Structure 1
Amino acid sequence: MKHIYSILFLLVILSCGNSEKEEVSIETQSHQEEVVVSASQFESENMALGELSTQDFNQTVTATGFIDVPPSSRASVTAFMEGYIKNTPLLIGDEVKKGQLLVTLENPEFVELQQNYLEVFNQLTYLKSEFERQETLYKENITSQKNYLKAESDYKGNLAHYNGLKQRLKMLNINPSNVENGNISSTINLYAPIAGSITKVNVSNGSFVSASTEILEIVNTNHIHLELMVFEKDILKIKKEQSISFKVPEASNNAYKAEVYLVGTSIDVTDRTIKIHGHIEDDENSPFVTGMFVEAQIITDASSGNALPKEAVAKIDGAFYALVLQNQDDGYAFEKTKVAVGKQTEAFVEVLNTQDFKDKQVLTKGTFMLLSGGE
């Protein structure tokens, strides 16, 4: 009886082993031309089906650069005379309008300048009157030419001095009419030359600034653009109005569109690059900040073709294959089909032998796992 029980137990074990082997072979049965996958394995491995689709396969030139604004959209605020900062209420990031008060400066020299102007202005009335009198007398041969010429010289010299001082006051935003009325101030105001955002504040209250000191910087980002650098070997491929696809890798994975607007005409001898100016699509509503680093692809030749996702194509022994669905009953039966590969992008592979895949379902996820496991 012990022998009989032992034999029966052995038969049960062998039976279970054969059953397990049959189940595995159904799920992963693979040979040279056909691969069969069970429905449970298809679902558990997150496999998926797809078809040929039309995709763009463009020839591109790689470029790097940054976000910038035109020179007319960037302004440095400086004073024409040195002075001390009396008031600067703005911070980096503040929005300002054109003509808005930015900074107030104070300096005793402002008072001296206005005094000189007022003195010259008051003298001008007398010298003009004397010149006109001498001119009349000279024409009537009552006075000498010497007296006439001296009066003319004094008047015109004073007039030139007056006009020069008047322009200096205007440059300092001091109204000459107020000075002529006796209103003299020890302070001057600096106003925003353009609308935009404050990007630099280089002073604080009480700071002394010279005429060359940059007090503030204003940038208007209503019209931002790309400043790209392209290597010399690629420059002959670049033309105006070519499309640009670019990313800001440190901030986003999104791709944005632009267009080549200007191509530089001289090469930087230090790194053998040339500058490309690109206009960004819908730049007024873009989220960019000036100075952002960008990676760009300039599309020099556009084409399209039938393609499969890269995950659908596996490279085995130097050749490319995909799995084409033959039937779907209890599981999925695929035929291993060779792919004639054309151009490639990051996500897609162009298929040249489209007749083998047209209107057919192809495994788009899990292909390499099945084919490499079956070799």
Structure 2
Amino acid sequence: MKFLNIFILGIIVLSCNSKTDTEPQEQNTEATSEQSTLSQIHLEESQVVLGKLSDINFGESLTVTGMIDVPPKNKSVISTFIGGYIVKTPLLIGDRVSKGQLLVTLENPEYVELQQNYLELSEQLNYLKSEYNRQKTLYDENISSEKNYLKAQSQYKSNLAHFNGLKKKLQMLNLNPERVTSGNIVSTINLYAPIAGYVTKVNVSNGAFVSANDVIMEIVDTEHIHLELSVFEKDIMKVKKGQSIEFQIPEASNTIFEAEVHLVGTTIDESTRRVKVHGHVDNEEQHFIVGMYVTAKVLVTHDMGKGIPRSAVIQDDTGSYIYVLKELKGNNSYEKVKVSLGKQNENNVEILNAEGIKDKNIVIKGAKVLKVAI
């Protein structure tokens, strides 16, 4: 009996210890589950974005593509009429240049030969002019023959034409003919910026040889940025001057910019069956870069209404509704409001019963996630 009592007492002690160890584990499990649920709700709340009803055009629009561009007069390709070796090229892509600023310096023995020929012809022309005047006087006094007079006249005028041609070449190479006439001959020429703008291409380096008409660099003046859009032939009759344009640069920003149709092309590209449409950008102060790809909507007709993004509307068997922020005290409280839908487009939907909620904060993103959380 003594051993039996000791055995029963041991079983009782072990049972008590087992129960004591089990209860904290169950409490920890419940606490962890509660913490996980709170974290999930916090995550869902962080996905909610609020907004308000806005005026949206639900009229017809054309979706087109195009690019950022500038007028032809705002682009300049720098090249030379006579090739040479690059001696100085101080600019890099992106540098701002002023009109008349030095861009590049070239060197070539041909520049020296051209100046020598001009100088020699200048001196020779003085003699030919004097001889022409002398022969003319003698001919007028019937002292010299008409043949000698005509010969002197021909030599003088042909050399004068050659002289004027060389003078024009020097001016095209930015060499001063008067300095050459005074004996100041140089072996280099300078190329200057014909317009103000930004350097967009530099195709040379010091010591490189460039031939005539090789593109040395390119300058673009971005002061007058515009849109160059391509519209399909079947849609071009709907596009008119003055229509509004909304465009985005998908590779760089989600911001919607505004423009206006300024010119509609009158010819169709035979390979693509598209027509060019020129649009003026409203805010040219944006940091647009020539060549950027754009997606745009030409607003053909206007039909304004109060609307919200399609993602804000939840639909079920009872109808369509949205979530409206009711109060803000620590945690957000939302009210489910039934709405009547009107016209729709790709991204937005019109709210017909907008009078009572036009100033309310509406869940425009995360409504489906919020529905689960509530």
Q: TM-score range by the shorter chain?
A: 0.7 to 0.9
The change in CA–CA distance for 1:204 and 1:45 in structure 2 (over 3 A counts) is closer
Using the alignment, how far apart are the partners of 1:100 and 1:108 within structure 2?
A: 25
Determine if contact 2:247/2:294 at 8 Å carries over to the other structure: yes
Determine if contact 1:245/1:257 at 8 Å carries over to the other structure: yes
Deviation, 1:372, is 10
Deviation, 1:359, is 2.9
Same amino acid, percent of matched pairs:
53
Deviation, 1:343, is 2.8
Could you say which residue in structure 1 is the equivalent of 2:349?
349
The two structures, once aligned, show a CA RMSD in angstroms of 3.3
Using the alignment, how far apart are the partners of 2:226 and 2:50 within structure 1?
A: 42
Using the alignment, how far apart are the partners of 2:197 and 2:342 within structure 1?
A: 52
Could you say which residue in structure 2 is the equivalent of 1:298?
298
Could you say which residue in structure 1 is the equivalent of 2:320?
321
Runs of 5+ consecutive residues of structure 1 not aligned to the other structure = 1-40
Question: What amino acid is the match of 2:299?
Answer: I
Question: What amino acid is the match of 1:235?
Answer: I
Runs of 5+ consecutive residues of structure 2 not aligned to the other structure = 1-40, 328-332
Q: How does the TM-score come out when normalised to structure 2?
A: 0.77
SS of 1:204's equivalent in the other structure is coil
User: Does 1:359 pair with 2:360?
Assistant: no
Using the alignment, how far apart are the partners of 2:82 and 2:286 within structure 1?
A: 39
Question: What amino acid is the match of 2:179?
Answer: N
SS of 1:80's equivalent in the other structure is coil
What are the residue-to-residue correspondences of 1:54-65 with 2, within 5 Å?
54-65=55-66
The change in CA–CA distance for 1:49 and 1:213 in structure 2 (over 3 A counts) is closer
Could you say which residue in structure 1 is the equivalent of 2:73?
72
Using the alignment, how far apart are the partners of 2:202 and 2:49 within structure 1?
A: 57
Determine if contact 2:96/2:198 at 8 Å carries over to the other structure: yes
Determine if contact 1:62/1:298 at 8 Å carries over to the other structure: yes
Using the alignment, how far apart are the partners of 1:48 and 1:120 within structure 2?
A: 81
Could you say which residue in structure 2 is the equivalent of 1:197?
198
Question: What amino acid is the match of 2:302?
Answer: A
Determine if contact 2:62/2:298 at 8 Å carries over to the other structure: yes
SS of 1:222's equivalent in the other structure is helix
Which digits, 9 at most, give the CA deviation of each residue in 1:17-67, with x for residues without a partner?
xxxxxxxxxxxxxxxxxxxxxxxx9xx869899987653323211111111
Question: What amino acid is the match of 1:243?
Answer: S
Determine if contact 2:323/2:367 at 8 Å carries over to the other structure: no
Determine if contact 2:80/2:214 at 8 Å carries over to the other structure: yes
Could you say which residue in structure 2 is the equivalent of 1:162?
163
SS of 1:342's equivalent in the other structure is strand
Could you say which residue in structure 2 is the equivalent of 1:23?
none
SS of 2:349's equivalent in the other structure is strand
SS of 2:206's equivalent in the other structure is coil
Deviation, 1:370, is 9.4
Deviation, 1:322, is 2.5
Determine if contact 1:52/1:358 at 8 Å carries over to the other structure: no
Deviation, 1:339, is 2.9
Using the alignment, how far apart are the partners of 1:52 and 1:99 within structure 2?
A: 53
Number of equivalent positions: 325
What are the residue-to-residue correspondences of 1:205-284 with 2, within 5 Å?
205-283=206-284
With 302-311 and 214-223 compared, the bigger mean Cα shift is at: 302-311
Could you say which residue in structure 2 is the equivalent of 1:30?
none
SS of 2:165's equivalent in the other structure is helix
Using the alignment, how far apart are the partners of 2:340 and 2:72 within structure 1?
A: 53
Could you say which residue in structure 2 is the equivalent of 1:12?
none
SS of 1:289's equivalent in the other structure is coil
Using the alignment, how far apart are the partners of 1:128 and 1:119 within structure 2?
A: 14
Could you say which residue in structure 2 is the equivalent of 1:22?
none
Question: What amino acid is the match of 1:204?
Answer: S
Determine if contact 2:70/2:290 at 8 Å carries over to the other structure: yes
Determine if contact 2:107/2:188 at 8 Å carries over to the other structure: yes
Could you say which residue in structure 2 is the equivalent of 1:14?
none
